[in-house]
Amino acid sequence: MQRIDESIVLFFQGLRCAPLTKLFSVFIPLEFWNVIALLLVLYFFVRTGTLRAPIVSFVLAKNLSTYCYEAIKDFVHRPRPFLMIKGLVPLITPHGFSFPSGHATLAMAMAVVLSYHFPKTRSPIFILAVLIGFSRVYFGVHYLSDVLAGFFLGAVLGWMSIHLERAIISVTNGVDLRRSQRPVD
């Protein structure tokens, strides 16, 4: 598996060019998703006149993602590809360990949450998430397996965040989640 990962990183290094580097550089700051979420909320408010703010699941997904990927990185201790592959030149120099990709984890968690709350944006949101993940391999700071693991972890945490948000809203609205919510015949 390690050889395949190394070959893929070197393949991506061979694809490097100024336009791709500029495109992928947009995705470097983790605050990228804050901007996307704010733009979606504003767009739908202007179009519909209603405020749909997925704030609870957004905050849950962001915090759960950060906590989980940092805990896993500290447990696994996988070195970054540019430290292990001779001839690989990273375009950026991150700190910490490689597995899983924090950017991919956060991107997929945010994509799941935002596409749930704004279903008409599902395709572009997931395309952005995938581009963010692949940008990490392109920059030479993650293996593809780091990114794929991040996508999986992010998807799980995104769905958990949505379900936690629904539970929190139900509890705060006085719905007893311990009782069955079957319709009365």
The answer to whether residue 121 is domain-embedded is yes
**Residue 180 forms part of a structural domain:** no
Q: What is the pLDDT of residues 89-112, one digit of tens each?
A: 788 888 889 899 999 999 999 999
The total number of structural domains that make up the chain: 1
Q: Are 131 and 178 in contact (CB under 8 A)?
A: no
Identify residue 133 by its one-letter amino acid code.
G
Containing structural domain, residue 49: 2-172
Q: For residue 117, indicate whether it is catalytic.
A: no
Active-site residue, selected from the candidate residues 77, 95, 117, 142: 142
Q: Indicate the burial class of 96 (C-beta count within 10 angstroms; 0-12, 13-18, 19 or more).
A: exposed
> Residue 68's pLDDT is what?
94
Asked if the model's pLDDT at residue 175 lies above 80, the reply is no
CATH number for the domain harbouring residue 151:
1.20.144.10
Name the pTM for this structure: 0.82
Residue 179 included in any domain: no
Q: Tell me the C-alpha to C-alpha distance, in Å, between residue 38 and each of 13, 58, 64, 118, 159.
A: 33, 11, 20, 12, 20
Q: Has 103 been annotated as catalytic? A: yes
Asked if the structure places residue 185 within a domain, the reply is no
Residue at 45 is within a domain? yes
pLDDT at 135 over 50: yes
Report yes or no on 59 lying in a domain: yes
pLDDT of residue 185: 43
Band of residue 4 on the pLDDT scale cut at 50, 70, 90: confident
Contact call for residues 141 and 34 (beta carbons, < 8 A): no
Of 77, 95, 103, 117, the active-site residue reads 103
**Higher pLDDT residue, 30 or 165?**
165
Residue recorded with tokens 């629904």: 166
Mean pLDDT, residues 74-83: 91
Residue 184 falls inside a structural domain: no
Average pLDDT of the residues in 74-81: 92
User: Token digits for 138?
Assistant: 């392109």
| Residue 178 located in a structural domain | no
